[in-house]
Amino acid sequence: MSDNTTVIQEGAKKSGILWLTLDRPRLAWHAWHDGAIYLVTGGEEQALPGLDGLDRVRVTLRSKDNGARLVEFEAAVSVVDQAAAADVVAVLAKERLNARDSEHLTERWARESTVWRLTPSPAGS
């Protein structure tokens, strides 16, 4: 594992938020799972305008300790089939704080939200 990959993995595991460069820098909550960052948008969840039109997005992770920029990187953007990725949805549901309907969260997401996978690109690509 390269140093950059290690920093991305550790940073994404330690902090539940990140910044995406969209129409402007946008703060988003996420979960790290199986080598990628996962997000939920739409419905009652976070709005990340423009993400649906991108193949790649710039991601910034900050230190949970002091807020300093830890690492910036490009990530490939793809939609997750929620029915086929129950493990990912379960990880996201566990990380989702203060949901009004935590017992029915995954059903609501299946109806009205999109789950996204952001796969970090190797350095220099």
- pLDDT of the chain, 125 residues: tens digit per residue: 567 888 899 999 988 899 999 999 999 999 999 999 999 999 999 999 999 999 999 999 988 777 778 899 999 999 999 999 999 999 999 999 888 888 899 999 999 999 999 999 865 44
Q: Is the dihedral of CA 67, 72, 86, 46 positive or negative?
A: positive
Token match 């939200």: residue?
Answer: 113
CB count in 10 Å sphere of residue 116: 25
List the one residue out of 92, 94, 87 whose CA is nearest residue 115.
92
The token duo for 94 is: 């566990």
Q: 2, 121 in Cβ contact below 8 A?
A: no
Q: Give domain limits for the chain.
A: 3-119
Task: Provide the pLDDT for residue 2.
Answer: 64
Record the pTM.
0.91
Task: Provide the pLDDT for residue 123.
Answer: 58
Task: Provide the pLDDT for residue 125.
Answer: 45
The token duo for 44 is: 């009652």
At the fourth CATH level, which superfamily is domain 3-119?
A: Electron Transport, Fmn-binding Protein; Chain A (2.30.110.10)
